[in-house]
Amino acid sequence: MMTRKELDLWVGIFVVIGMGALLFLSLKVANLASFSGADSYQIRAKFDNIGGLKVRAPVKVAGVVVGRVSEIHFDNETFEAVVTLSLDSRYQFPKDSSAKILTSGLLGEQYIGLSAGGDVANLKSGDTLKITQSAVVLENLIGQFLYSKAAEGGDKGNETKK
Amino acid sequence: MARIERAARVAVRKSSGLKFALSSFPDKVTIPNLVEVEGVTFGYDRRRPILRDIDMVVPRGRVVAIMGLSGCGKTTLLRLIGGALRPDRGEVRVEGRSVKGLSAEGLYAMRRKMGMLFQFGALFTDLSAFDNVAFQVREHTALRGALLRDLVLMKLDAVGLRGAAHLMPSQLSGGMARRVALARTIALDPMLIMYDEPFAGLDPLSLGVVGKLIRSLNDALGATSIVVTHDVQEALAIVDTVYYMSLGKVEFHGTPEQVRASGHPSLHQFAHGEPDGPVPFHYPAPDYAQDLLGGA
Amino acid sequence: MGRIAELLRALGTRVINHWVWRLGFATRFLLLTLKHSGPSFRRFYLTVREIYFAGVLSLIIILVSGLFVGMVLGLQGYDTLARYGSSEALGVLVSLSLVRELGPVVAALLFASRAGSAITAEIGLMKATEQLDAMEMMAVDPIARVIAPRFWGGVLSMPLLAALFSAMGVFGGYLVGVRLIGVDEGSFWSQMQAAVDFREDIVNGVIKSFVFGVAITWIAVFEGYDAPPTAEGVSRATTRTVVISSLAVLALDFVLTAMMFRGL
Ligand SMILES: Nc1ncnc2c1ncn2[C@@H]1O[C@H](COP(=O)(O)OP(=O)(O)OP(=O)(O)O)[C@@H](O)[C@H]1O
Ligand SMILES: [Mg+2]
């Protein structure tokens, strides 16, 4: 039979390594530490169309993740999507930087790409980006493509219709 | 020794729920009979009543034996007194209070003053002999450390097993286990002690010791005892009153002298261990020869 | 024809009545256990003891199984991903399948057969040998003293065991993917970190394992308490614990996954 001390010791070890496993999952597997705890500042960007962008999508500059999308809502006055970006305070960008919605790979996740501008003043918390480029929507692309094709071969089209 | 006993008892009074238990029960003096069983009928299922119209009184301070053949409902009667079962008809009163009418708390308060030795010991298999005896003390009192140790060892010593305190129930022999269970039953010096077959599986030496222990506990602590047993000679030597049951009924009750002198045929048969007599040895069954031949 | 239909109907109502009755009884039993949980925390060593039996004694099987499941995921995942030229995503595949599904579910199934059956057998045996009756006659409530600590011991152990299983699995996937096959270590971890979300994946996984822990230990203590007090009754109850709690885990997993990841 175990004494109470031995029992406590084993349970203590169990709880410690269990908590260790949880910590490992949170920090090493999910990378909790990188942004949530660190200081961040919020800027906003308006887009005509955000495509499939989701909250927590990465914000990248030159391929480096510098922040995440923290909120997406719809502005009922201007009929635009307003995306709030939470950027790591270690990184500062000129006021006239621009944001694009990009896709990783052909069909991958969408993320926001920032391109630095040339202004001397830096973005502050609460600023809104002036220059944005919306997501490329595949259906629109195909639609445009078909439209231009149709315009090219307009006569042919009419003939067949007849 | 006596000092420790007294200190232990004070600690028990102080810490346990006896405050409400004592106040909620009528005064000692007014009720001479600790246990009264009145017209109790009980069956585990509707069709077969085990006990029929049982009447029994257990006067305060006495040792009462319940005897009867195997399966006549003795254990069932003890369970009814302890409130583990409810009678179909009739009433069980402990200290003048109907057990049936008690709330859950009331029942527990009553049981704190009772000790019951189970027929098969029912030792906690995951606790050592020492911890088994200490179980109730730890649950119901604030007694700890050396005082607890002394109290438990005293109880184990009373059944001759102080040296076996560290053994687990699986390491005890059948008779030893029953003696540990006995020590556990009396750990908190209960007011009413119920022994279900205390002599079963004991060698003649421990049999005598346990018999004397039951009597002396009863007298020294001012307790009241009910002993269920088959052991006629041992029982007649220590008890004040005998109830003899047969087929779910009380057939006879009286003092040991009356039992010895009694001309009651089935009691005489029982007391002298004669297989032929008014009491059938067999459980009711169809005719033996017919049963055997019927299968062919 | 009418007779058969009648027979079926009678059988149906019997079965349904029986199961509905049992479910109701089990629910009342759970509420009673929760109500009498005070001593499990006030005298925490009671629960610590049960964490030892449910948690510490399940450690070996959980750690070893986790490691092997992770290693198999590494092998199979690599094989599939390599066909699409994205073997760097191996970390993502291993970690997401473990954290979201395999960790909580497989750990729970192992827990049900290792600890759940032991809890049922122990309580059933205590009942069969009148230990619970004896306790009650000593004015000690068996629900508070025996059932509740076992329940909480199991409930507290389960999430830790599931986390250990997942962590071991990720490690196993790393061993096979990075060490053995040679997937780039940097992209293995970085892709994993980019894809696994703390709130969405880790926290949901922990919630799942907590729910499974409640379900398994509830079934285990109930089956033990409700077992017929015979050797046969106890062994049947033990088997039932493993079967019912495994089914419950799989069914609950579907419901929880639908709620968490599909937003139903
Ligand atoms: N839990 C139960 N369910 C159904 N029937 C029971 C139960 N316990 C006992 N019985 C039946 O009740 C009757 C009396 O049992 P009980 O245990 O009271 O006998 P007993 O007088 O103590 O016998 P023994 O001297 O052998 O211990 C028996 O016929 C038994 O079959
Ligand atoms: Mg009996």
pLDDT at position C1: 60
- Looking at the complex, report in whole angstroms how far the Cα of residue A8 sits from the nearest Cα belonging to chain C: 7
**Position C6 in a domain:** no
3-state secondary structure of B118: coil
B261 vs B167, higher pLDDT: B167
C108 bridge partner residues: none
**Position C68 in a domain:** yes
Burial bucket for residue B26 (CB in 10 Å: 0-12, 13-18, 19+):
exposed
Helix (H) or strand (E) holding B115: strand B114-117
Distant-in-sequence, close-in-space partners of A145: CB < 8 Å, separation ≥ 6: none
Between the CA of A28 and the centroid of ligand 1 the distance, in Å, is 63
Integer Cα distance of B231 and B206 in angstroms: 14
C196: left (phi over 0), alpha (psi -120 to 50) or beta: beta
Q: Which of B112, B3, B66, B55 has the alpha carbon at shortest distance from B240?
A: B66
- Out of B42, B45, B46, B50, mutate this one to test ligand 1's pocket (max ligand atoms within 8 Å of CB): namely B50
Q: Which domain holds residue A21?
A: 1-30
How many domains does chain B fold into? Answer: 1
How many domains does chain C fold into? Answer: 1
Helix (H) or strand (E) holding A103: strand A98-103
CA distances for B39 relative to A10, B56, B249, angstroms: 56, 9, 10
**Hey, are the CB atoms on C138 and B135 less than 8 Å from each other?**
yes
pLDDT at position A123: 86
**Position C11 in a domain:** no
For chain C, which residues score pLDDT lower than 70? 1, 262-264
ipTM, two decimals? 0.88
B18 vs C219, higher pLDDT: C219
- Looking at the complex, report in whole angstroms how far the Cα of residue B249 sits from the nearest Cα belonging to chain C: 25
Between the CA of B69 and the centroid of ligand 2 the distance, in Å, is 10
3-state secondary structure of B128: coil
For chain A, which residues score pLDDT lower than 50? 157, 159-162
Contacts of C138 in chain B (CB under 8 A): 111, 135-136, 139
Q: Residue type for A110, please?
A: Q
Integer Cα distance of A18 and A12 in angstroms: 10
Q: Measure CB to CB from residue B112 to each of C122, C139, C141 and give the nearest one.
A: C139
Between the CA of B76 and the centroid of ligand 2 the distance, in Å, is 7
**Position B178 in a domain:** yes
**Position B15 in a domain:** no
pLDDT at position B25: 46
Integer Cα distance of B250 and C84 in angstroms: 88
**Residue of the CA atom closest to atom 3 of ligand 1:** B44
What CATH number is associated with residue B209?
3.40.50.300
Q: Which of C111, C126, C147, C121 has the alpha carbon at shortest distance from C238?
A: C121
Integer Cα distance of C218 and C23 in angstroms: 11
B193 bridge partner residues: B115, B225
Phi, psi (degrees; rounded to nearest 5) at C234 = -65, -40
Q: Which domain holds residue C99?
A: 36-261
Burial bucket for residue C12 (CB in 10 Å: 0-12, 13-18, 19+):
exposed
**Position A155 in a domain:** no
Residues A25 and A82 in one domain: no
pLDDT at position B233: 81
**Position B95 in a domain:** no
Residues A54 and A101 in one domain: yes
**Position B292 in a domain:** no
C247 vs B30, higher pLDDT: C247
- Out of B54, B74, B196, mutate this one to test ligand 1's pocket (max ligand atoms within 8 Å of CB): namely B74
Integer Cα distance of C3 and C9 in angstroms: 10
- Using 50, 70 and 90 to split pLDDT, how confident is the model at B5? low
Integer Cα distance of B129 and A46 in angstroms: 77
CA distances for A127 relative to A130, B131, B134, C3, angstroms: 9, 71, 72, 80
Residues A70 and A24 in one domain: no
Residues A139 and A96 in one domain: yes
B248: left (phi over 0), alpha (psi -120 to 50) or beta: left
Helix (H) or strand (E) holding A142: helix A138-152
Does residue B75's CB lie within 6 angstroms of at least one atom of ligand 1? yes
Residues A56 and A10 in one domain: no
Residues A85 and A130 in one domain: yes
Cα nearest neighbour of B181 on chain C: C134
Residues A45 and A101 in one domain: yes
B63 vs C13, higher pLDDT: B63
**Position A51 in a domain:** yes
Query: Are the C-beta atoms of C89 and C81 separated by less than 8 Å?
Result: yes
* B24: pLDDT strictly greater than 60: no
Residues A52 and A116 in one domain: yes
What mean pLDDT comes out for the span B181-190? Answer: 90
pLDDT at position A68: 82
**Position C31 in a domain:** no
Residues A106 and A79 in one domain: yes
Does residue B49's CB lie within 6 angstroms of at least one atom of ligand 1? no
What mean pLDDT comes out for the span B17-35? Answer: 55
Per-residue model confidence as pLDDT tens digits over B244-292: 888 888 888 888 888 877 777 777 777 676 666 666 667 777 777 777 7
Burial bucket for residue A84 (CB in 10 Å: 0-12, 13-18, 19+):
middle
**Position A74 in a domain:** yes
pTM for the model stands at 0.79
How many domains does chain A fold into? Answer: 2
Q: Which domain holds residue B149?
A: 59-85+111-279
Q: Which of C249, C217, C260 has the alpha carbon at shortest distance from C40?
A: C217
**Position A150 in a domain:** no
Residues A25 and A81 in one domain: no
Integer Cα distance of B181 and B135 in angstroms: 11
**Position A151 in a domain:** no
**Residue of the CA atom closest to atom 28 of ligand 1:** B71
* B8: pLDDT strictly greater than 80: no
**Position C125 in a domain:** yes
Atom from ligand 1 closest to the CA of residue B119? 27
- Looking at the complex, report in whole angstroms how far the Cα of residue B124 sits from the nearest Cα belonging to chain C: 6
Residues A102 and A50 in one domain: yes
What mean pLDDT comes out for the span B209-228? Answer: 87
Contacts of A18 in chain C (CB under 8 A): 55, 159-161, 163-164
**Which ligand is located closest to the Cα atom of residue C229?**
1
Cα nearest neighbour of C195 on chain A: A30
Q: Which of C98, C163, C92 has the alpha carbon at shortest distance from A26?
A: C163
